[in-house]
Amino acid sequence: MENRREELQKNIAKNIQYYRKQLNLTQLELAEILNYSDKSISKWERGEGIPDVFVLNKLAEVFHISINDLLSEKTKKIKKPKQTQLKPLIYVLIVWADFTIAYGLLKMFYPRDLFFPLWHLFIYPIPISGLIFFIFNLVWKKLPYIYLFLTVFIWGSALSLQLLFTTLPAHLFYIITTALYLLFMYITFYTMQYRKKRRK
C-alpha cells in the first residue's frame, strides 16, 4: 500500500511538471490559476505532497486531460486549442468598418473637410489594428507576431500624431518614436527571455 502511494505521488509530481511545461506555464502562473501559492506547486512537483481531489480535478481541467492521466505513469501530448489570427482580425475589421462609416457620413453631410482632411480617417485605424493584434499575440506568446504588430502600432501611432499635430516638426516625432520603438522592443524581448528562464 505504501509503495502504491509513493508511486502515485511520484507520477503526480512528474505529470504536473510535464503538463505545466506543455502549456508553457510557470509555477507562479499555474498557482494563480489554481488560487494556490507557487510554493505548493513546487512542493507537488518535487513529490513532497499530493494535491487534494478537488485540486487534482482542477489541474485536469487546466491541462485538458483526465484525472487518470495525472495519476498515470505514461504522459500524453496535450491538444492545445488552435490560436489563429482570425479572432483579432474580426476586431480589426470592426474598427476599420467604423472608421469607413464615419468617413462616409462626414463626406455626405460635410462635403468639405473639417479641421482635418477626411482621408486621415483611413490612417488612424492602423495603430489601433496593430495594438489589437499585439495584445492577442502577447497573450498567446507568439514572439515574431509580437514584434511585427508592436512595430505597426508604434510607427502607425507616430504617423497619426504627425497628421494630427502638423505644427510640430516631423523629425521630432520620428526621433521620439525611434527611441520609444527601441525601448519597447527591448522591454518585450527582455520580458519574454525572463519568462523563459523562469520556466522550470
Residue range 17-39, pLDDT digits in tens:
888 888 878 888 888 888 888 88
Rounded distance, CA 3 to CA 11, Å? 12
Q: Count CB atoms within 10 A of the CB of residue 35.
A: 8
Residue of 152, 174, 111, 124 lying closest to 144 (CA atoms): 152
110 pLDDT higher than 90:
no
Q: Is 8 helix (H, G, I), strand (E, B) or coil?
A: helix
4 pLDDT higher than 90:
no
Rounded distance, CA 88 to CA 133, Å? 6
Residue range 5-15, pLDDT digits in tens:
778 888 888 98
1 pLDDT higher than 60:
no
Residue linked to cell 504536473: 16
Assess contact for 22 and 64: CB atoms under 8 A.
Answer: no
200 pLDDT higher than 70:
no
Residue range 111-123, pLDDT digits in tens:
666 667 888 889 9
pTM: 0.59
Domain ranges of the chain: 2-71, 86-198
171 pLDDT higher than 80:
no
Confidence of residue 194 (pLDDT cuts 50, 70, 90): low
Residue of 146, 177, 179, 137 lying closest to 160 (CA atoms): 177
Q: What is the second-level CATH architecture of the domain 2-71? A: Orthogonal Bundle (1.10)
Assess contact for 154 and 177: CB atoms under 8 A.
Answer: yes
pLDDT number for residue 53: 86
Assess contact for 92 and 126: CB atoms under 8 A.
Answer: no
Rounded distance, CA 190 to CA 150, Å? 15
Q: What is the mean pLDDT of residues 94-98?
A: 95
